[in-house]
């Protein structure tokens, strides 16, 4: 365990960041699951709506550093492709 004051503070900060990142990642996974289930069920309009919210969550998580920007972009691209294929 940390013994110096600065190390104790770092440990506290790490716990807060971990909780924040876990929450962001969990929300992103939930949104991705919602979009994929809408695509699988053939709900084109619902999938488009859910894609918008999923993209917002992905971009926000990437801007906060919870996930990498390239990962967010790749996920958005693949989701958009799947929604487009489901709609046509």
Write the CATH number for 55.
1.20.58.110
Does residue 28 fall inside a structural domain? yes
Q: Kindly state whether residue 38 falls inside one of the protein's structural domains.
A: no
| Number of domain units in the chain | 1
Maximum CA pair distance of the chain?
61
Output the pTM of the full model. Answer: 0.86
Rounded to whole angstroms, how far apart are CA atoms 68 and 32? Answer: 16
Is 58 within a domain? Answer: yes
Model confidence pLDDT, tens digit, residues 1-32? 788 999 999 999 999 999 999 999 999 999 99
pLDDT in tens, 33-81: 999 999 999 888 999 999 999 999 999 999 999 999 999 999 999 999 9
């Amino acid at each position: 365990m940390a013994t110096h004051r600065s190390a104790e503070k770092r440990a506290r900060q790490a716990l807060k960041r971990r909780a924040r990142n876990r929450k962001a990642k969990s929300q992103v996974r939930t949104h991705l699951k919602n979009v994929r289930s809408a695509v699988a069920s053939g709900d084109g309009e619902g999938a488009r709506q859910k894609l918008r919210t999923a993209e917002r969550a992905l971009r926000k998580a990437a801007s906060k550093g919870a996930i990498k920007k390239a990962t967010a972009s790749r996920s958005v691209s693949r989701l958009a492709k799947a929604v487009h294929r489901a709609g046509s």
